[in-house]
Amino acid sequence: MSRTNRFISSLCLGLAALVSPFLGCLLDRVGRRPDALISGSLLMSGAMFMLLLPSAEMEVFIAVALLGSGFALAPVTLLSSVALVTDEANLAPALGVFKSCENLSMALAHYVAGLLVDVSGGYSWTLMFLKVLCLWAVACAFILRRYDRKEGGKLMIVKATAKTGPESQT
């Protein structure tokens, strides 16, 4: 494996790890979590489409960077949304259920992806499967946005920040 392959293969999760805290702060400032979830899902779907096409190394680099951005945006959005729709007394169990669902779905997706590689002998069917999952996530995000608007828009709010300084002392 060349150094470029090592870099590209670690870029996706490395980028997600680096930008996730900043995305969390951004979501607290702008709200609009359903729109952020749609954007993250579309980023991942577009990246999967790019990876399905025969491409040059630079295009693969861009696709993996887009995938990493989506990997950061979607989970951060979902995790911060749990705190907005759950009362404080039930927050810890709600976050536990969220993480359990996330881990179970990732385990199932990895199993199916590995099965598709074993059966087909390549990665095209696996990428198609992941693209379908990403498109499903886009559809679910649109449904979430519609439902949230109907219920009063809790996920669209901006988190209140405490004021510091002389003006907050009065």
For residue 116, the model assigns a pLDDT of: 94
Least confident of 75-79, 126-130, 158-162: 158-162
| Cβ partners under 8 Å of residue 85, min gap 6 | 154, 155
Residue 111 falls in which region: left (phi positive, over 0), alpha (psi -120 to 50) or beta: alpha
At 162 the pLDDT is: 42
Per-residue model confidence (pLDDT) at position 1: 52
Distances (CA, A) of 141 to 37, 105, 125, 147, 163: 6, 17, 24, 10, 33
The answer to whether 15 and 65 are in contact (CB under 8 A) is yes
pTM of the model: 0.79
Q: For residue 163, is pLDDT > 50? A: no
Task: Check whether 126 has a pLDDT greater than 60.
Answer: yes
Is 42 within 8 Å of 82 (Cβ atoms)?
no
